[in-house]
């Protein structure tokens, strides 16, 4: 049997679960990280596809769901699904991380056969994976033990094990995702296998309660933790409680613990532990309090509230001296006098106080945007690395790359302050509403930018004469302007647009655009967009179900190369900021992605409204979604035409209502008018 049936990714996942034996829709939904309703919706189509292979999908009351067929047919199906595991998005690197998490979750040794069954690959592949896992574990002071006849397991100190779990966690979660996870009824992303595995190490139901207890304790103590510090402590506590529940206690050097007990933060940790004990019914050892204390001592507190006199007594004067040394050394590397601005010196000094304390205590320093800093600002990272040597010499510490990244951010801020605010003119010919929306987005995302005026393309020339101080023009349409740099953006101001503008502010020249296709004529672009237009009704309760429904509807479009890539791009865009147009009841799900080979426009009307975040950061009911997808190498005309559609929701009277309830013919007529 050659499997020529086109299973979706989730259908393949469901079949793999069913091949293990009879089960229920609830258990399948838990394994896949989707709702039970989503699983039930997939079953009829899956049953039809399996029927073509001579396999029956059975649903019996009291027994659940199972597969029935000839044993050789079921075995061949299993083998074919194994071959497609790579296409399903689980590459070797991700599988190796999953193996580490699986071994840590299962206390007893695991045989190669069970690992092979768990991950759907051969024992030989598992053996090769374990070689790489062994090397990764050694970097954490952990050992992979392989004993013939017994199995494979991980051995090492509890502190190192937690460090590994935490590092893997932050490799797949960011702060925004974690906030959404708690706010949206703890619904995770079904497409991330590692993320689904993480909740073997935390009780999902506990997260909200821990958040409430932590917030109350901090507020009563007058401590205002930065978001990153608050979420870092929340994750630490959630992991610690689950490990304690499983009998995995952590140890700490007695001398270090004794010193920590003398601090006010230890007393705060004790009060926090008392509330956690009452809520979850478990004793929290002093060693655990010690690690919570280290988090509190190392946290960056807003408003300069840090006080480390009780530990590693470091005066503000000493922090300022260290800040000056760093800025002078970095300035020599960048050929700039960075130490002359008192604000820059003070900001870096405030940052260095807790950072030095963390380094002295051997605590990890996490920088979620390190890779982005290294890629976008290699010159600042190089300067920061050299400047960090002054800290190593002064304090006898090892400065990790993550801290160098934070220093690089301070250097970048110093350079931007040296140059003052960049003045720009906005050109937005689509209308006043879209101009205001763009201006509002720029002020929110780029506070160091001064918007001097908002004009039409026709008025640009006289505006530049009137305002010679203008540094650049930001426009939603391509312009033939030679006197000032022109940065072309979407009316919605995408993340790519923000980075482009930031690059100009720092370097004085716009970020070079990627190569684009040859320009198309207006009519060609309009036809290309409308030719693949979709108007569909969908049913969803939340964002995850909405994206699942959209994915299924666009899957058959010849313009789609990868529905999964599209879903991932839209989801990542949604995490960055809300996409619902305030007060309109419509969400703009847009992305430039490798998941499409041509522009794709669709309107998806919801059977019942879904609560989503709008562009002002507030929640509102959404009745319809406008999906606008462009290839990454789209022409300026394609970008500009798609931008007109989003602007029309505000500027064109009646268009929003057409999107929500108009006939297909009326919607297309309106789109033709807008696009032409």
DSSP structural state of residue 627: E
Mutual angle of helices 264-280 and 204-220, in 10-degree steps: 140
Better pLDDT: 363 or 432: 363
Give the mean model confidence (pLDDT) for residues 649-674: 84
pTM of the model: 0.42
The lowest-confidence range among 106-115, 126-135, 367-376, 520-529 is: 520-529
Q: What is the pLDDT of residue 379?
A: 85
Give the mean model confidence (pLDDT) for residues 632-659: 79
Q: What is the pLDDT of residue 323?
A: 92
Q: Is the pLDDT of residue 418 over 70?
A: no
Name the H helices within 446-542. Answer: 460-466, 495-507, 522-531
- Tokens matching residue 553: 């509807």
Which residue's entry shows tokens 């562009």? 615
Which residue's entry shows tokens 């994750």? 235
- Cα–Cα distance for residue pair 172/169, rounded to 1 Å: 6
Q: What is the pLDDT of residue 185?
A: 43
- Cα–Cα distance for residue pair 173/601, rounded to 1 Å: 30
Better pLDDT: 3 or 269: 269
DSSP, collapsed to helix, strand or coil, labels residue 371 as: helix
Q: What is the pLDDT of residue 261?
A: 84
- Tokens matching residue 461: 């020339």
- Cα–Cα distance for residue pair 627/574, rounded to 1 Å: 12
Q: What is the pLDDT of residue 642?
A: 81
Give the mean model confidence (pLDDT) for residues 521-547: 81
Sign of torsion over alpha carbons 502, 224, 292, 208? negative
Give the mean model confidence (pLDDT) for residues 338-344: 81
Separation of CA 340 from chain center: 37
Confidence of residue 396 (pLDDT cuts 50, 70, 90): confident
Give the mean model confidence (pLDDT) for residues 169-179: 60
Q: What is the pLDDT of residue 339?
A: 85
Helix, strand and coil in the chain, % to nearest 5: 55, 15, 30
Distances (CA, A) of 48 to 8, 23, 32, 551: 13, 19, 21, 20
Q: Which residues pair with 110 in a beta bridge?
A: 152
Percent of the chain at pLDDT exceeding 70: 80
Q: What is the pLDDT of residue 251?
A: 83
Q: Taking a C-beta distance cutoff of 8 angstroms, is the pair 232, 173 a contact? A: no
Sign of torsion over alpha carbons 79, 80, 83, 87? negative
Q: What is the pLDDT of residue 303?
A: 33
- Tokens matching residue 199: 């909740």
Give per-residue pLDDT as tens, 190-199: 344 555 666 6
Q: With the CA atoms of 553, 556, 560 and 562 taken in that order, what torsion angle do they form, in degrees rounded to the nearest 10?
A: 80
Buried b (16+ CB within 10 A) or exposed e, 468-506: eebbbbbbbbeeebeeeebbbbbbbbbeebbebbbbbbb
Confidence of residue 257 (pLDDT cuts 50, 70, 90): confident
Q: What is the pLDDT of residue 377?
A: 79
Q: What is the pLDDT of residue 419?
A: 58
Give the mean model confidence (pLDDT) for residues 544-564: 86
Q: Is the pLDDT of residue 312 over 50?
A: no
Give the mean model confidence (pLDDT) for residues 475-494: 74
Give the mean model confidence (pLDDT) for residues 94-101: 84
- Tokens matching residue 90: 């689980």
Give per-residue pLDDT as tens, 600-629: 999 999 999 999 888 777 888 999 999 988
Of 78, 18, 69, residue with least CA distance to 42: 18
Give the mean model confidence (pLDDT) for residues 379-388: 91
Of 476, 497, 486, residue with least CA distance to 577: 497
Q: What are phi and psi of 122, to 5 degrees?
A: -75, 160
Give per-residue pLDDT as tens, 237-249: 888 898 888 888 8
Confidence of residue 187 (pLDDT cuts 50, 70, 90): very low
Q: Is the pLDDT of residue 113 over 80?
A: yes
Give the mean model confidence (pLDDT) for residues 635-659: 79
Q: Is the pLDDT of residue 169 over 80?
A: no
Q: With the CA atoms of 393, 397, 402 and 404 taken in that order, what torsion angle do they form, in degrees rounded to the nearest 10?
A: -10
Q: Is the pLDDT of residue 84 over 60?
A: no
- Tokens matching residue 352: 């260095």
Q: Taking a C-beta distance cutoff of 8 angstroms, is the pair 589, 645 a contact? A: no
Q: Taking a C-beta distance cutoff of 8 angstroms, is the pair 186, 207 a contact? A: yes
Of 416, 477, 483, 428, residue with least CA distance to 453: 428
Which residue's entry shows tokens 């930065």? 226
The strand ranges marked E within 529-650 are 534-538, 580-581, 586-592, 600-613, 619-630
- Cα–Cα distance for residue pair 585/459, rounded to 1 Å: 33
Which residue's entry shows tokens 């301070």? 410
Give the mean model confidence (pLDDT) for residues 241-259: 81
- Tokens matching residue 403: 């801290």
Better pLDDT: 509 or 279: 279
Q: Is the pLDDT of residue 102 over 70?
A: yes
Q: CB atoms < 10 A from the CB of 657, how many? A: 12
Of 369, 473, 470, 475, residue with least CA distance to 412: 369
Q: Is the pLDDT of residue 109 over 60?
A: yes
- Tokens matching residue 566: 């599209």
Q: Is the pLDDT of residue 294 over 50?
A: yes
| CB proximity list for 132: less than 8 A, separation 6 or greater | 92, 96
Confidence of residue 298 (pLDDT cuts 50, 70, 90): low
Q: What is the pLDDT of residue 25?
A: 83
pLDDT averaged over every residue in the chain: 78
- Tokens matching residue 582: 């305030």
Give per-residue pLDDT as tens, 17-48: 898 888 888 888 777 766 677 787 778 878 88
- Tokens matching residue 136: 């990764």
Q: Give the DSSP letter string of 46-79.
A: HHHHHHTTT-EEEEETTTEEEEES-HHHHHHHHH
Could you give the domains of the chain? 9-83 (1.10.10.10), 92-156 (1.10.10.10), 162-304 (1.10.1790.10), 316-356+365-418 (1.10.1790.10), 422-507 (3.40.50.2300), 522-675 (3.40.930.10)
Distances (CA, A) of 673 to 281, 457, 666, 676: 65, 20, 11, 5
- Tokens matching residue 391: 């800290």
Q: What is the pLDDT of residue 660?
A: 92
Of 564, 536, 551, residue with least CA distance to 624: 536
Q: What is the pLDDT of residue 557?
A: 83
Better pLDDT: 636 or 600: 600
Percent of the chain at pLDDT exceeding 90: 12
């Amino acid at each position: 049997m050659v499997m020529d049936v086109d299973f979706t990714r989730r259908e393949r996942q469901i079949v793999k679960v069913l091949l293990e034996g009879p089960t229920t829709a609830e258990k399948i939904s838990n394994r896949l990280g989707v709702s039970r309703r989503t699983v039930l919706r997939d079953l009829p189509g899956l049953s039809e596809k399996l029927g073509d292979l001579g396999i029956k999908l059975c649903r019996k009351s009291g027994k659940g769901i199972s597969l029935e067929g000839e044993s050789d047919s079921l075995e061949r199906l299993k083998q074919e699904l194994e071959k497609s595991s790579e296409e399903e998005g689980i590459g070797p690197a991700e599988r190796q991380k999953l193996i580490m998490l699986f071994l840590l979750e299962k206390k007893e040794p695991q045989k190669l056969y069970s690992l092979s069954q768990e991950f759907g690959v051969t024992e030989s592949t598992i053996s090769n994976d374990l070689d790489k896992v062994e090397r990764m574990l050694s970097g954490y002071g952990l050992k992979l033990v392989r004993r013939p006849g017994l199995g494979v397991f991980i051995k090492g100190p509890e502190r190192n094990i937690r460090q590994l779990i935490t590092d893997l966690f932050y490799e797949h979660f960011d702060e925004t995702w974690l906030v959404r996870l708690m706010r949206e009824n703890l619904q995770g992303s079904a497409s991330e296998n590692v993320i689904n595995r993480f909740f073997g190490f935390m009780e999902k139901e506990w997260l909200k309660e821990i958040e409430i207890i932590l917030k109350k304790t901090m507020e009563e103590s007058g401590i205002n933790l930065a978001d990153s510090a608050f979420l870092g402590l929340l994750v630490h506590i959630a992991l610690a409680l689950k490990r304690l529940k499983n009998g995995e206690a952590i140890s700490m050097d007695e001398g270090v613990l004794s010193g920590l007990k003398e601090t006010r933060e230890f007393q705060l940790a004790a009060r926090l532990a008392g509330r956690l004990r009452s809520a979850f019914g478990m004793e929290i050892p002093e060693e655990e309090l010690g690690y919570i204390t280290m988090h509190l001592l190392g946290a960056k507190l807003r408003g300069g509230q840090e006080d480390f006199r009780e530990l590693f007594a470091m005066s503000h004067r000493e922090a300022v001296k260290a800040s000056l040394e760093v800025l002078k050394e970095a300035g020599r590397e960048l050929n700039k006098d960075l130490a002359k601005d008192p604000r820059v010196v003070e900001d870096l000094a405030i940052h260095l106080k807790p950072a030095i304390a963390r380094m002295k205590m051997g605590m990890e320093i996490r920088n979620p945007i390190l890779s982005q800093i290294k890629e976008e600002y290699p010159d600042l990272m190089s300067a920061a690395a050299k400047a960090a040597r002054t800290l190593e010499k002064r304090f006898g510490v090892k400065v990790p790359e993550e801290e160098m990244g934070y220093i690089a951010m301070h250097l970048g801020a110093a350079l931007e302050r040296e140059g003052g605010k960049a003045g720009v003119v906005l050109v937005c010919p689509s209308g006043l509403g879209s101009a205001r929306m763009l201006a509002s987005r720029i002020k929110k995302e780029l506070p160091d930018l001064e918007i001097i005026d908002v004009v039409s393309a026709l008025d640009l020339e006289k505006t530049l004469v009137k305002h010679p101080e203008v540094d650049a023009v930001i426009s939603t349409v391509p312009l033939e302007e030679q006197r000032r740099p022109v940065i072309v953006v979407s009316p919605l101001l995408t993340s790519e647009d923000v980075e482009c503008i930031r690059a100009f502010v720092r370097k004085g020249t716009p970020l070079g655009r990627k190569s684009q296709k040859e320009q198309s004529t207006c009519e060609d672009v309009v036809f290309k967009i409308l030719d693949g237009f979709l108007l569909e009704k969908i049913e969803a309760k939340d964002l995850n179900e909405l994206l699942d429904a959209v994915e299924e509807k666009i899957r058959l479009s010849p313009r789609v190369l990868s529905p999964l890539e599209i879903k991932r791009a839209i989801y990542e865009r949604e995490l960055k900021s809300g996409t619902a147009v305030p007060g309109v009841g419509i969400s703009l799900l847009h992305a430039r992605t490798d998941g499409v080979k041509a522009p794709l426009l669709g309107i998806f009307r919801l059977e019942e409204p879904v609560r989503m975040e709008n562009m002002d950061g507030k929640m509102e009911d959404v009745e319809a979604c406008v999906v606008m997808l462009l290839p990454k190498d789209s022409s300026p005309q394609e970008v500009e035409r798609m931008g007109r559609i989003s602007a029309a929701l505000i500027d064109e009277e009646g268009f929003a209502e057409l999107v929500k309830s108009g006939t297909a013919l009326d919607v297309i007529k309106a789109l033709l008018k807008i696009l032409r």
